[in-house]
Amino acid sequence: MLSSEWIKLSSLRANKTILALTVGIDVFASWAVARFVTDEVLTVSEVFIYPTFLTAVLAAVAGILLFSSEAQHGTLATALTAQPARWVIAASKTMTATAVGLVLGATGMAAGFVGAVVGGLDMGDTSTMATTALWALLFTTLTAMIGLAVGMIVRHGAGAISGLLVWWLVVENLILQFAPAKAARFLPFDAGYHLLGIGSDFDTPELIAAALTRPQYAVIFGGYATIALGVGTLLLYRRDTN
């Protein structure tokens, strides 16, 4: 099944576009930060991680398409005929989503590094870059897995993508402004973003005071990914192939 997933992944034109966008957007974003942010001293070791948020958005979209593209184009029925054990389908797609998140995360950080260097920044303290990169890879990987789960639940690419992005970019930011800080810190994508160790414009003094540690945020975000994949797998069993 993994070889089949790889063939489908590599043959889908949207995935090649997402990879190209990851490189182009992240190079430009880090270069723009290096060139135009002048109110603070920045270094390559800091800026290379900045575009990872954008990479995570693309990883979520790629994760959604792993399932929704098959469901919409009728090839899911063929896959289930070849492999009736639906847990195998779910497991192979989860592993594929994991690989997608890792590849996009690593590619995005490499592109961010190049953009920061081209932008003329000094290297800075590189001692924490490896640790930061590992947390960022966890962020992009879990985001791709959540994207897969949303695709399994919704089954419609455009609906899944728009719904996920509206929640992530609009609803969560509104909740952050009005919900109690101790409750808001459990929002899924806000928890994921905090894995990067980068401050957010939406962080109020109350949110900063109530902040958790990176491992705690990892447990929260990983928990959401696990639950979402569980729901998606359950629906895969209960629904018709079409």
pLDDT for 7 equals 64
| Neighbouring C-beta atoms of residue 35, cutoff 10 Å | 14
Alpha carbon distance 239, 221 (integer Å): 27
pLDDT confidence of residue 64 = 95
| Domain map (residue ranges) of the chain | 2-238
Burial 154-184 (b: 16+ CB within 10 A, else e): bbebeebbebbeeebeeebeeebeeeebeeb
pLDDT over threshold 80, residue 72: no
Query: What confidence score (pLDDT) does residue 208 get?
Result: 80
**Residue 3 CA neighbour count, 13 Å, CB half:** 0
Contacts of residue 126, defined as CB under 8 A and 6 or more positions apart, other chains included, come to: 45
CA pair distance 181, 204, nearest whole angstrom: 9
Number of H helices, E strands in the chain: 13, 0
Residue 58: closest CA among 15, 3, 18: 18
Mean pLDDT, residues 47-70 taken together: 93
The average pLDDT across 166-187 equals 90
Mean pLDDT calculated for residue range 17-28 = 95
Q: 13-17, 79-83, 156-160, 217-221 — which is least confidently predicted?
A: 79-83
Residue 37: the pLDDT is: 87
Residues of the chain with pLDDT > 70: what percent? 87
On the question of pLDDT at 161 being above 90, the answer is yes
Distance CA 177, CA 190 (A): 12
Residue 123: per-residue pLDDT:
93
Read off the pLDDT of each residue in 133-159 and give the average, rounded to a whole number.
94
12 band by pLDDT with thresholds 50, 70 and 90: confident
In the block, residue with structure tokens 């957010």: 200
Mean pLDDT over the full length of the chain: 88
What is the percent of the chain where pLDDT is above 90? 61
CA distances for 108 relative to 47, 112, 150, 207, 211, angstroms: 12, 6, 23, 28, 26
pLDDT of residue 240: 63
Residue 194 is predicted with a pLDDT of 93
For residue 4, pLDDT over 70 is answered with no
Between 112 and 40, the more confident residue is: 112
Rounded distance between C-alpha atoms, residue 242 and residue 148, angstroms: 18
Residue 34 neighbours by CB distance under 10 Å: 20
* Dihedral sign of CA atoms 190, 192, 194, 198 in order: negative
13-36 helix and 86-118 helix, angle to the nearest 10 degrees: 30
Phi and psi at 179, nearest 5°, equal -80, 155
Determine the Cα–Cα distance for residues 131 and 89; give it in Å rounded to an integer: 33
Average pLDDT over residues 44-63: 95
